[in-house]
Chain A
Amino acid sequence: MSTHTEHQAPQGREPLDVNDPKLTRFDIVREGARRDDIEIVHYEPQVLPGTKAERRLTRVVAGFFLITGLAATAFLAIYIWWPWQYEPGRGGDKFYTPLLGATLGVALLAVGFGILTWGKKLLPKEVSIQDRHEGQVDSEGRTITGQTMLYMADELGVKRRPLLGISLLAGLAPVGAVVAAPLVGGLISKPHKNNQMFTTGFAAADGGERIRLVREDGRPIRPADISAGGQLTVFPGIDHGVSNRHADSPTLLIHLRDSDAQESRRANERIGHGDYMWGNYAAFSKICTHAGCPASLYEQQTNRLLCPCHQSQFLITDNAKPVFGPASRRLPQLPIEVDSEGFFVAKSDYTETVGPDFWERP
């Protein structure tokens, strides 16, 4: 390539006089490129002026732009006049969003294709070569800059007067801490305020009454409300007991069948929780000990409780021991009984920590 050899030594080339009236505009463009170490080695129109191909491509591009106009107008018309308010059931409003998306999408795609066709098909193809100046390290420049910086350091005289540097560092370190302090100090919040990580909504106030188990709507529960094999999500019967303020309190109350209940009771006795069940009823925390999702898929036949987030499985009849998946700790059991009015109450708060594990969990 002849152009390439010329390119190797751009310094050796005489710059053109760009005011020379004999030069065409392209000559000046090419000269400009050369001054930027670029050689235009190939420049070829893709369509010749006045040909059928040019007229055809022009029509295509214009067509795209007109489609854009149509689609954008349609978008505006739909945006203004189409019924958009949500109505229950089937109705025109269900097509509002799809129509907006379709018209906007078509408008944008068409303008995109129009511009692409214009650029790719109507403009001349070119191949230009630009020099990277790779590997031509400006060692003189490095020396000068390096020496300048060293000179500046000398002028500051930190080497001769080390006290300055040390005192500056000593002075700046607290300033850095001053920047961080309000942020850290403002955000930091003691995790064990009111023993909150180890208690739930079932913790009775000092000397207060035992807390009832209630449904989502706040009504207390009688044993007869759950049939054998059934289960119900229950909450502490306190203010906001059903809300997210007591996100660690949701509990699953299960009415086990006779044989399962006996097995459960034996398992309870093994770990000294002999009095946690009431009759054939057992209550376990619904908050998975793995990542805190509600373990809420209860399979009656196998007495397994599955957490849908990471598929930990807990065997209810064995103290809700994790039998599969990533959970490593059993679901805490809530000791329950029935009060004098015949409603379920919690004998005490959970005796184990509810929810996902953490470092200082005893």
Chain B
Amino acid sequence: MKRRKFDLAATPGKAAVGVDDRFAVATPLRKLLNKVFPDHWSFLLGEIALFSFVVLLLTGVFLTFFFEPAMTEVVYDGSYAPLQGTPMSAAYASSLDISFEVRGGLVMRQMHHWAALLFMAAIVVHMLRVFFTGAFRKPRETNWIIGSLLFWVGFLAGFTGYSLPDDGLSGTGLRIASAIMLSIPVIGSWVTSSVFGGEFPGTIIISRFFIAHVLLIPGLLVALISVHLGLVFKQKHTQWPGPGRTNNNVVGERMFPRYALKQGGFFMVVFGVIALMGGLFQINPIWLFGPYEAWVVSAASQPDWYVMFLDGSTRLMPAWEINIPIGDGYVIPPLFWPTVVLPGILVGLSTMYPFLEARQLKDRKSHNLLQRPRDVPARTAVGAMAVAFYIVLTLSGANDVIADKFQISLNAMTWAGRIGLLVVPPMAYYVTYRLCLGLQQHDREVLAHGVETGIIRRLPDGRFVEVHQPLSASNGHADGHGELEYVGWVVPKKMNRLGALGPAIRGFFYPIEKPVEAPVSPGHPPVEARPEREEIGSGESRR
């Protein structure tokens, strides 16, 4: 029999035809490869959250191989000498073993913890980006709600996670969590007793938190993240205004190859940064805290940063106990308001915000173009108010540390927080509103009169004026130049943004390339030929 010639070069092609014969994927695949993504540095914040989540899954699976989620009492006999012979729970002992007996276990544990902090931080910063640019408006309200929920589910993931080692610090956190559940009117004691399987701490909470932390919550996170990404994909990304960009198109690059390469590279960078942090920066050294014992706590016991704002609200809450004199009497403890009611209000307000704003503005249109924060002063100011509120609470969550380090009275710190919580947000609103208006005004001024050149000219009558470089060509106005319309995007305010002063020549010892022409603005792709420019110095003085 004659041997068929094997053509190596044709193999991929043949395989591709074979696949398409069976699955008919050629056209859908082309559509996927061709999908256009707009680009801006601020769009990478959500990706940091996504990539941290991937790292969390990878390192978390490793940790489950060695962690024992049980509260059985054991006596530690591992290699960490200071705790040898100490009775502790199996969960704490196995966490110590991950740190000391498992080769490379500590770096994985620390990477897992740092990735969690980064995940939450990226979610918050991404949320701020989406809020301040108006990316949550119709048609993306659903994705905004999913994003807000992701923060709270991530919060739960973090809390259940750092409770697992059952060390002195996390046990105190669990104690507070049980008190928070207890404070709920009517059903509080039933909820606590059911969650903990009896009176605190019981013997089952660690195994319940474990299954929540490794299965239920991650499952929910994966589901929410999938829908979140699916909607971004389906509804297409928002984009900044700019040349050629309309509400009806997406200007950017196709997904493959450049965009995908950049994403892949960025994932590796995020992963690398987490690895560096996990190796070089100590986090949660549980062996220093000892096992959880109900009577032991130290000062400066702070939760992870994303829990601190609730800790702060709890510290600031005045001791207002509500007594209901019916029968034996009933109590609503002060703990209920800052830890149950406040988060409830925050969830409600944040998820409802897109609808509140649309209702207020009677805005029923779809928006795919982003807004600069300065162009929507009311929203930006509301956002600044929320951020100020959050920062006051977070700082108050560490007010004992601040009091200690800066030699301030602890009670003064608490009062400063109480007053600050009421006073700082409105101030932030006012200041932000004025800043936005000021920035708007400056943009309009540059569009009308041009860029400051730094060239001072003396007029025949002795006055000194600064020469301005107008941005638009002459149109016969008295000024000698026309006025440009604001298009919702960066207005060049320095001469080198106009190309009049080229960017610095690159290279350390010798120039590595010929100086390129400066772009009109960093975000603009040069899709249009730049208009002819006038020579510097020909502009008129301002007014």
Contacts and interface: CB of A to CB of B under 8 A. Distances in A.
Interface of A: 1, 4, 7, 32-33, 35-36, 38, 40-42, 53, 56, 79, 84-88, 96-102, 104-120, 123-135, 187-193, 196-197, 233, 235, 243-244, 246-248, 250, 286-287, 290-294, 296-297, 308-312, 322, 324-329, 355-362
B273 A311 contact: no
A101 B275 contact: yes
A86 B278 contact: no
B193 to A, nearest CB: 4
Contact of B249 (A107, A110, A129): A129
B258 interface: yes
Given A32-B30, A116-B261, A127-B244, 17 more contacts: A36-B30, A84-B103, A85-B79, A96-B106, A102-B276, A109-B268, A117-B265, A119-B261, A125-B525, A127-B527, A132-B249, A191-B199, A233-B295, A247-B294, A324-B414, A328-B320, A360-B331
B328 A360 contact: yes
Contacts of A197: 189, 199
A131 B248 contact: yes
Contact of A196 (B199, B275, B278, B300): B199
Most chain A C-beta atoms within 10 Å of own C-beta, residue among B106, B184, B273: B106
A130 B249 CA distance: 5
B175 A292 contact: yes
Given A99-B279, A290-B179, A294-B295, A328 B262 contact: no
A356 B279 contact: no
A310 B311 contact: yes
Contacts of A97: 104, 106-107, 110, 279
A60 B414 CA distance: 54
Interface residues of B, number: 113
Interface string B387-410: 000000000000110000000001
Interface in B330-348: 330-335, 338
A105 B272 contact: yes
B511 to A, nearest CB: 12
B268 A115 contact: yes
Given A85-B79, A309-B176, A326-B319, A357 B278 contact: no
Contact of B186 (A42, A98, A324, A359): A359
25 contacts: A1-B244, A98-B280, A102-B276, A105-B279, A114-B265, A116-B266, A127-B527, A131-B248, A132-B249, A189-B197, A190-B193, A191-B190, A197-B189, A248-B199, A290-B334, A292-B178, A293-B172, A308-B298, A309-B172, A311-B399, A311-B410, A326-B314, A328-B333, A360-B189, A360-B328
Given A119-B257, A127-B252, A128-B36, A294 B279 contact: no
B328 to A, nearest CB: 4
A143 B198 CA distance: 57
Contacts of A235: 295
Contacts of B266: 112, 116
Nearest to B184: A359
Interface string B242-277: 001001111111100110011011111111111111
